[in-house]
Chain A
Amino acid sequence: MTELCILRYNPETDGEPRFQSYEVPCREDWVVLDALNYIKENLDPTLSYRWSCHMAVCGSCGMMINQEPKLACKAFLRDYQGVIRVEPLRHFPIERDLVTVIDDFMAKLARVRPYLIPKDVKALEAGEHRQTPAELKRFKQYSMCINCMLCYAACPEYGLIPKYIGPAAIALAHRWNQDSRDAGREERQEALAAKEGAWECSFVGACSEVCPEHVDPAGAIQQVKIRSTVDWYQEHLMPWLKK
């Protein structure tokens, strides 16, 4: 048996969150999500949490497990000793129990326009956009983001500066900027090159360390900073140059 110590919060009855402990069987192949499902089915049906695929592709079950942002479906019970502390994803308001309010991230994601903005709209008869493997490589890793928000929980700057647009949003913007079919970089710069854009990052690198899909948002952010800096000096020192 293993003990899970879970941060509970009922907005209708609680003034503050409080911890509640549960004993669950420790199966060899169980992840924290299995333990949560066991609790909900057998011990306490009031426990609330988000989950869906149970295979680390949907990004729903992000939470703090022993103070580290992890996907609950990817955190094996056998890898932990002693009591396992489970809390909602840090830096987001708690809606209820392990469910967080993710409106801030959703708004920021929309702001970076994470979709194809082609130079000219291609007619269907003109055929498909063609890309070489090299062109694909430029953006592929950034497209692997599953919007799990572990990076926002890991980022101390997002914790300190709530307006910061954050790692995943910038990585996803970068994914489109790097796509050879796209011509929307200037439009995205409004959000990325703003004060609350890439500039609040101080390259802690925690985001890339906790990312379950190895997107490397920290790398994307530094590349955005460098490009934005080159843009800025070009605009201000050589305004006659077309970009």
Chain B
Amino acid sequence: MAKSNKPIVWGPFAAGGTLTAFLTPALIALTLLAGLGQVPEALSYERLHAFAAHWPVKAGLVVVIGLSLWSAAHRLRITCYDLGVRADAAVAAIVYAGALAGTGAAMLYLLRI
């Protein structure tokens, strides 16, 4: 029985789970306020565009979005198995590809800012 390569997917999952636990509620609160008509200053086009123009910020956003998508994808994979879906390899391919695609898209858009 060889040692598994699971740490490749589990490491980012644990990091993403921790990151989203600390950060996601506050982020949701920001866009929720915007939705309720109380757009926070930082979400105005000028402020946000200027903010996202900095390279460290771009890197930070890629990390936040990437780890959030990856940890969600990994959990979704486990949930599918728990619900009786046996095709784990297929589910894994789909969810991780989705997470990577979302992260790639974020990088693309950030490059244009």
Q: Do A and B actually bind? A: yes
A160 and B11 form a contact (CB under 8 A): no
A157 to B78, CA, bound (A): 10
Is chain A's interface secondary structure helix, strand, loop, or mixed overall?
helix
A199 to B77, CA, bound (A): 13
Q: Does B1 contact A (CB under 8 A)?
A: yes
Residues of A within 8 A of B5 (CB): 232
B1 and A228 form a contact (CB under 8 A): no
A193 and B4 form a contact (CB under 8 A): yes
A182 to B52, CA, bound (A): 52
A174 to B3, CA, bound (A): 17
**Min CB distance, A41 to chain B, in Å?**
43
Q: Does B29 contact A (CB under 8 A)?
A: no
B7 and A191 form a contact (CB under 8 A): no
Residues of A within 8 A of B82 (CB): 156-157, 160, 202
Residues of B within 8 A of A190 (CB): 1-3
Q: Does A74 contact B (CB under 8 A)?
A: no
Q: Does B81 contact A (CB under 8 A)?
A: yes
Q: Does B14 contact A (CB under 8 A)?
A: yes
> Can you list 16 A-B pairs, Cβ within 8 angstroms, ordered by A?
A190-B3, A193-B3, A193-B4, A194-B1, A195-B1, A195-B6, A197-B1, A199-B6, A202-B82, A226-B14, A228-B3, A229-B11, A231-B7, A232-B3, A232-B5, A232-B11
Q: How large is the interface on A (under 10, 10 to 19, 20 to 34, 35 or more residues)?
A: 20 to 34
Residues of B within 8 A of A156 (CB): 82
Q: Does B55 contact A (CB under 8 A)?
A: no
B1 and A196 form a contact (CB under 8 A): yes
Report if A160-B81 is in contact (Cβ < 8 Å); known contacts: A199-B10, A225-B10: yes
Binding site for A on B (CB under 8 A): 1-8, 10-11, 14, 78, 81-82
Report if A197-B4 is in contact (Cβ < 8 Å); known contacts: A160-B81, A229-B14: yes
Residues of A within 8 A of B14 (CB): 225-226, 229
Partner of A195, one of B4, B8, B78: B4
**Min CB distance, A199 to chain B, in Å?**
4
B3 and A194 form a contact (CB under 8 A): yes
Residues of B within 8 A of A228 (CB): 3, 7
Residues of A within 8 A of B10 (CB): 199, 225, 229
A112 to B5, CA, bound (A): 19
B7 and A194 form a contact (CB under 8 A): no
- Residue-wise, chain A 211-231 has the 8 Å CB interface mask toward B (1 for contact) of 000000000000001101101
A21 to B42, CA, bound (A): 68
Contacts A199-B6, A232-B11, A233-B11 known; list 9 others, CB within 8 Å. Answer: A160-B82, A190-B1, A190-B2, A193-B4, A195-B4, A197-B1, A199-B10, A228-B3, A229-B10
Q: Does A10 contact B (CB under 8 A)?
A: no
**Top 9 A-B pairs, shortest CB-CB distance:** A232-B7, A194-B1, A229-B7, A193-B3, A199-B6, A195-B4, A202-B78, A229-B11, A199-B4
